[in-house]
A and B are shown apart, each in its own frame.
Chain A
């Protein structure tokens, strides 16, 4: 297990930022850590990096409670990030490596390698203040990789990046995963998470509301079937476990069914009712919708979750 949290809480005075949070990350997977602003993501990641002490609970990195040593093997990109404006790009990357315990010469060599790999060798000797914002952000990212971490924790890595750089970062994360790295990243934009992540941890107001794959999320969300027909399917309610029919517009209807209902028997019931079927299948909910349902602020949806 790369990372384990068990019953972790963090209180700031009367304010409970994180409540009894447990989840884990296994080797080689990409886990999305999702939640609204202020849900407790950054506080959680700070506790993992031993920047803040937890009020309660147990955190293990690489199977050890010694976070002080463990964090040196982690590449951490905080949400609040910046660089020394007067420092050269190559020195910046090397310095953050040295802070992680990479010896001076190796750090410099690694910094040059990283710059070359990402086609930024020409900026090596430039001071950070002379770089464009996008390039400075790339240097920031490279400075997290100097010590070749096996585990990357990225707090809101996509925020502030333009679409081109967002794509570059996505590619980088995919590349790193192919090389065997484990990644935990927090975000509140679901598109990236949906494309990249194997699993998700969603928190809301400091509490975990979901942990699992997107399929598991869809299962947890709601079982709905989508029927396209020119006819009116309202008369199906009450047959074959169908509890409600919601029109979605353009001749599409969502059929809510009881738990454990077999979709085959639903289709048979539809056909038996003489309804003309154009298409029929399970609803493919977007992560975005699930997020809203599970981690959003809306009251009614919260109850549903």
Chain B
């Protein structure tokens, strides 16, 4: 038994105490940081999209310009709300003391129940979600808000900046004739889009919106958005929204609806809330908990899939290396082939679990520190430590890994070189990878559907499938049967591959084919190492 322990200890150290592995442990958080940095960089470097409006009807130029301004105001207000909510959560200011319209609304955008003050304010101006925004900017906007905040707070507050513009309308008349077609206009403005020519106030032109004569009256005539970058549909969508609203409003007015009614009608929006069956509605904590529980299995299944697969395939190179380095016989004169194989399986499982336990520990430590003061982090910690998914995750990782690892171990024992092994391992890799990629979406959409249920009972896929299904409360017998089939087939496969391993490991120039593997398993009794 001490031999088994020595093998495990040796194999474990060989992988974990290397520069590469330690670098990997630090690269993952670094990778996440880079991802965040990229998002931040994108936001920091993002400039407003600029466009020229060529409006031949004369009706829409103003509508679009107004929509651009509304968009700016909405963004300012959202940033303000986030800012104040953050300060209030941290206990620096009392948001309620700011008063309407500076107090952030709990659920802005949805027509909840506006309080008396808001209703009173809306009487004088207009109704709907735009009421508070208009009141906000009439009362002095961001500057007034800042002033009120500084009165409330004793300490120095962080700065709040106006968010960047998303869209900007530019004036750029190239002196084209009133009958110039889309192609002519496009050709004329193209140098500004490509950056060959600068706009009068600097920067690049994103596109040109052309509203032809008769647009709005004749539904056959469509506006044209001319751009160099067809992937960027932001401006086209924005203009479509703004102009459509204008068209609808005009239609209402023509039908004799009063302006106030039009504003009220267009502001209508049905509220549909998703609540997990069996929980109480309006329980905010429960709602957040459900959200976290929704993403947890997905994340865990992802780690499970790649973890089990990559650690399992490490056994392939490990075995081939030992075989081609001719170390095997040295080892087999002290430990049995069975011990060597089991030792490797256990050691690599531990190697795979190490980063998971490491990151889980670091994550829990971080969440505990932040979770003490923050409700959300506390909730995440609560869900993660309390969820039955986590112990199941480790169970399915080990089972899935054993299944895949045993096959790679058997293949490795038959091969002298990685090239030999590729003939055998490539089909296996496809078998493991392809269906998983193809079916993950279906399982997530319908965790108790036919495909999810079938995959539960196919050993190569059941570990990932189970992980994705568990939080959808599948029938208990399916959990037990799926797990039993997975565990049983892992054990059978370890036994079968063990025979191949023992037969193959001492042979040189063996036949690296599936037939060779079957022959090896069949003749294992006489050819095998002990």
| A residues neighboring B (CB under 8 Å) | 11-13, 46, 49-53, 55, 68, 71-72, 74, 76, 78-87, 95-96, 98-101, 143
Contacts and interface: CB of A to CB of B under 8 A. Distances in A.
Which of A46, A78, A86 is the most central at the interface, judged by chain B CB atoms within 10 Å of its CB? A78
Interface in B1-51: 2-3, 6-7, 10, 14
Given A51-B333, A84-B325, A96-B330, A12 B10 contact: no
A96 B335 CA distance: 11
Contacts of B3: 99, 101
A12 B506 contact: no
A178 B502 CA distance: 38
A81 B326 contact: yes
B329 A95 contact: no
A82 B508 CA distance: 14
B329 A51 contact: yes
Contacts of A79: 329
Nearest to B527: A12
A78 B530 contact: no
A72 to B, nearest CB: 7
Contacts of A51: 329, 332-333, 506, 529-530
B334 A96 contact: yes
Contacts of B385: none
A83 B329 contact: no
B229 to A, nearest CB: 50
Contacts of B332: 49, 51
B472 interface: no
Contacts, number: 71
Contacts of A87: 14
Contact of A99 (B6, B329, B508): B6
B327 interface: yes
Nearest to B508: A80
B97 to A, nearest CB: 66
Contacts of A85: 325
A82 B530 contact: no
B14 A78 contact: no
Contacts of A76: 330, 333
B365 interface: no
Contact of B334 (A55, A81, A82, A100): A100
Contacts of B333: 49, 51, 71, 74, 76, 78
B161 to A, nearest CB: 53
Contacts of B527: 12-13
Interface in B305-343: 325-336
A111 B527 CA distance: 35
B526 interface: yes
B526 A13 contact: yes
Contacts of B506: 46, 51-52
Contacts of A12: 526-527
Contacts of A80: 326, 328-329, 508
B529 A78 contact: no
Contact of A50 (B2, B7, B325, B530): B530
19 contacts: A13-B527, A49-B333, A51-B329, A52-B528, A52-B529, A52-B530, A53-B530, A55-B526, A71-B334, A76-B330, A80-B508, A82-B325, A82-B330, A84-B14, A84-B325, A95-B6, A99-B3, A99-B6, A101-B3
A13 B526 CA distance: 7
A13 B523 contact: yes
A99 B335 contact: yes
A86 B327 contact: no
A96 B10 CA distance: 11
Contacts of A99: 3, 6-7, 331, 334-335
Nearest to B329: A78
A52 B328 CA distance: 13
A186 to B, nearest CB: 14
Nearest to A50: B530
Contacts of A68: 336
A80 to B, nearest CB: 4
Contacts of A55: 526
Nearest to A52: B529
Interface in B467-525: 506, 508, 523
A46 to B, nearest CB: 8
B325 A83 contact: yes
